[in-house]
Amino acid sequence: MTNYEQGEVLLIDKPQGWTSFDVVAKIRNTIKVKKIGHAGTLDPLATGLLILCTGKFTKKIDEYQAQEKEYTGKLILGKTTPSYDAETEPDATFPIGHITKEAINEALKRLSGTIEQLPPMYSAIKKDGKRLYELARKGKTVELTPRQVEIKVFEITENQFPELSFRVVCSKGTYIRSLAHDFGRLLNSGAYLTELRRTRIGDFNVANAQTVEKFVKDFKEIREL
């Protein structure tokens, strides 16, 4: 039996619709440990790699959070949403007929390297003790502070205009939703995220991760042996 109380690193493939806390709570209730946490939040609509640490390995959470991350996803051009993703309904429509391949490549170039990025209003960042998404859902807005992030790779992997598939390799603290929003703005249009999957954190790959369902099933079977 694995000693989760002593300390383990678990790689979980987070399902769509679950919060990162939902995953932690489910695994905690399954393996019955007190010390457990995750190394980097994923939005409920996102899927992919979530690193969970138990026991003494919770000390490594900050180390894992700081590592490079890789994502794949899709965005739609010509519309924006308040949350910058499909969690909320479109609130504005923009023309897309003027967008060329050259303009897309130029926007990708301008959003690569070290950039300044504003977090979405629909985020878990705290402002005066309140989560931004709590304020946003009440229709309130606050002045946000730009963050410096590094975009090592931002490329379009499939063009089914106005839907674009992409791959991003980036630093800690990057909001892919904000990247999609800024991409639309640089094209003198709009854009929002429709799909997002985290495929890698440092040397940890989602290919080596388990679904929550499989982890729980395997754990119960081992306990019964």
- Cβ-contact 190, 79 below 8 angstroms: yes
Distances (CA, A) of 97 to 32, 50, 94, 189: 56, 38, 10, 10
Question: Phi and psi (nearest 5°) for 100?
Answer: -110, 170
Beta strands (DSSP E) in the chain are 9-14, 36-38, 47-54, 69-77, 79-80, 92-93, 113-117, 126-127, 130-131, 147-160, 163-170, 191-201, 204-205, 210-211
Per DSSP, the three-state class of 29 is helix
| Cα gap 144→127, rounded to integer Å | 9
**Active-site residue among 13, 43, 85, 182?**
43
Which amino acid appears at position 63 of this protein? E
Token duo for residue 12: 């979980």
Active-site residue flag, 43: yes
Active site residues: 43
